[in-house]
Amino acid sequence: MKPGTPFPIVRDEQRDAPLQRLRYALALLAAIIVAGALGYHLLAKLNALDSFYMAIITLFTVGFRELGEVNAYTKLFTIFYLIIGLGVATYAISNLTALLLEGDLRGYLMERRMQKRLDDLTDHVIVCGFGKMGFQAAWELKKAGVPFVIVEQDETKGRSPRFAGELIIYGNAMDELMLERAGIRQARGLITALTTDADNVLVTLTVKQIRPDLPVVARSAKLGTERQLRAAGADHIVSPYEIGGRRMVGLLLRPEMMNFFDIVLQQEQLELGLERITIASGSALVGQTLREARLRHATGSLLVGLVHPGAGLRFNPSGDERFQAGDELLIMGPAEALEILTRLAQG
């Protein structure tokens, strides 16, 4: 494997192929030796140990002296035994050589190591489709430090040095077994960015059948298909053309506002961030009003919006609003301030 390539997890039918071939060859070799020992036991009148001894030294053409009765039947048996046995032994040795010297063993161990990483993965994001949009989504997740798994059907994709060592499964994202392998039961969300809207609808339907509560962000390639994606269960729908057009107009009419949001949302800008933080039941904030909590003074962060359980987002809430367990806070501030408030909200 060349440096800078990801560690893909191959399709199910390719898994363990080198070891399966080796196990098959060794099983044939063992069967040939047992058959040879049985033949020498019956024809040359040898005991069990001497029978196996003759079978092995004959098969590997060592050339030691023959044991037991040497007659026409023994000679004919030895001829056929060598013809058949040498072919099986050569096949087994060639598979062992390929496993050790041609990189099959290294690839197998690497795949098993990556599969273990995948089995241990929790609270990750599944990215279905590794085209231009899926690539950018995965890159944003990587910059944010969020674990993710990529599911892509085209095995020629995913060779970028940016994703060296990342988990990439090659297969059909609409397959339930593929999603199970990607850890959908333990995932925190899924992004489907396949080429066609029909594929994204099918992925969304499949995901919602397995995990109805899993948030799904779906790509809408054509205008007007949002209704089908919404009916399939997509929680959020992204149309790159609509977003691109809105941004172009925004940069022309309100450039200062667009630059402000760029500063807030871009991961490279560590001076200011925007986070959504949930208040735990054991937090000291529970029962306090916004005025009593004095979040800006205590943490250096600014409360932009507040979501009570079961209610909508309220921007710029008043100081009389009282915090409850399960409230979600939309907070803006430096990274250090957001970290302090996160610890405070978690209790």
Q: Domains in the chain, start-ordered, CATH in brackets?
A: 14-101 (1.10.287.70), 121-238 (3.40.50.720), 271-346 (3.30.70.1450)
pLDDT of residue 212: 93
Q: How far apart are CA 10 and CA 150, in angstroms?
A: 12
Helices (H), the chain: 17-43, 48-59, 72-101, 104-120, 132-144, 176-181, 197-210, 226-232, 240-253, 255-265, 290-293, 295-299, 335-346
- Cα dihedral sign for 227, 233, 235, 241? negative
Tell me 167's DSSP state.
Answer: E
Output phi, psi for 124, to 5 deg.
Answer: -115, 175
Cα 314 from chain centroid (whole Å): 37
Supply the pTM of this predicted model.
Answer: 0.57
Distance in angstroms between the alpha carbons of the first and the last residue of the chain: 47
CB neighbour burial string for 264-291, b if at least 16 within 10 angstroms, e if fewer: eeeeeeeebbebebebeeebebbeeebe
pLDDT of residue 96: 73
Segments in the chain below pLDDT 70: 1-19, 63-65, 68, 99-110, 158, 256-273
pLDDT of residue 4: 45
Q: How far apart are CA 89 and CA 25, in angstroms?
A: 8
Q: Which pair of structure tokens corresponds to residue 141? A: 């997740």
The torsion of the CA quartet 143, 145, 151, 156, rounded to 10 degrees, works out to 40
pLDDT of residue 95: 75
pLDDT of residue 10: 46
pLDDT of residue 107: 60
Q: What residues have CB less than 8 Å from 190, skipping those under 6 apart?
A: 125, 126, 127, 128, 184, 203, 207, 214, 215, 216, 217
Cα 198 from chain centroid (whole Å): 23
pLDDT of residue 261: 64
CA of 111: how far to CAs of 13, 104, 164, in Å? 14, 10, 14
